[in-house]
Structures are given as structure tokens and as C-alpha cells.
Amino acid sequence: RKVVQALEQTAREILTLLQGVHQGPGFQHIPKKCQKAREHFSTVRTQMESLKTKFPADQYYRFHEHWRFVLQRLVFLAAFVVYLESETLVTREAVAEILGIEADRERGFHLDIEDYLSGVLTLASELARLAVNSVTAGDYSRPLRISAFINELDSGFRLLNLKNDSLRKRYDGLKYDVKKIEEVVYDLSIRGLNKEAAVGAGGEK
């Protein structure tokens, strides 16, 4: 419990740091905030090493409830950092590496597939919020890119046969995130700002 509490504290620190990207000037400091978050993840890896020693290796699922929530939160934070850096979806293997655990169940303390998927669904909600705040900050091209990313994510989740109740409920929330972002994009198109964003993005390339 003590190790999990320490992990929760580190997760809170990373979250507080990354929340800064939602404020106006925060957009200019995204690379710096991601770099700082990565430094915090080295603390997470140390804490994970400690957690692995606290229970028999073959009893992962017996104690899984203790760290399930914080692990999902850390998956979301790792996914958010990777998205901010490259606008791509982090793989389960890459998250496991960032957290210092295994992707493979056979190899010991690992990242359960459902914990990974839950973290990714939390990312979708955060990006819906980022799309709204991007417009406020005058960044009109970001919501268009977020929209394309979330639609692709939604298509991926539609291919899954979700039996887990909590995961199913979380997935239902994705529909609202898609709708929220669509409204932002629609609003931009009504005002003609999406054309401006497309021209700006073309100019950047």
C-alpha cells in the first residue's frame, strides 16, 4: 500500500505538470513539460521496481486491485506525453517500457491489456478538452488533428469485443468525446477558421 501511495503521488505530480498545456501560454511550453514529465517517469520506474518485490511473482492478479487504478492513470499520462510529443498513439509495449514493467504476462509484473485500454480511453477525454482549449488559445489546426486521431481511435475500439463492464462503460464515454470534438471542428468550419488552419499547417510543412 505504501508503494502504491508513493506511485499515486508521482502520478499526481505528472498530471499537475501536464495540466499546464491547457492554459494559453502552455502550448509554447509543451516540449519542456514533456521532458519534465519523462524525468518523473524515472521515479515511477524506481517505485515499480520496489512494488515488484512486495508480493510473490505468481500472485499478480491476487493483488492487482491495489495498483490497478494508479497503473491506468500512469498509462494515460504516458500516452498523453507521447501524443504531445509526436501526435501518435503509444503502444502497450512502449508504455510498459516507460513504466519499467513487462508487456508480456509470462515475464512477470506486466501491463494488463485492459489497464492499457482504460488509460487510452482517458487520453481521449483529455484530448477532447485540449481541442476546446486549443481554440481558446488561437490554435485552430490542433483540433482538426485531434479529431482525425480520435476518429481513428474510435474505429479501433469498434473492432474490439469488450466484455469487461468497467471498460465497456469507459468506451461508451468515447462517443461523447468524439461528439465534443466534432462540435469544435464544426464550429471552426462555420467560422471559416478550419481553412485558415489548413493553410497554416501547409505553410508549416
Q: Which residues are annotated as a binding site?
A: 126
d(CA 61, CA 22): 36
CA distance readout (Å), 21 to 25, 127, 137: 8, 11, 10
Residue 102's φ and ψ, nearest 5 degrees, are -95, 155
Residues of each annotated binding site for Mg(2+)? 126
Buried b (16+ CB within 10 A) or exposed e, 160-180: eebeeeebeebbeebeebbeb
Residue 160's φ and ψ, nearest 5 degrees, are -90, 145
CA distance readout (Å), 54 to 2, 51, 60, 66: 10, 5, 11, 12
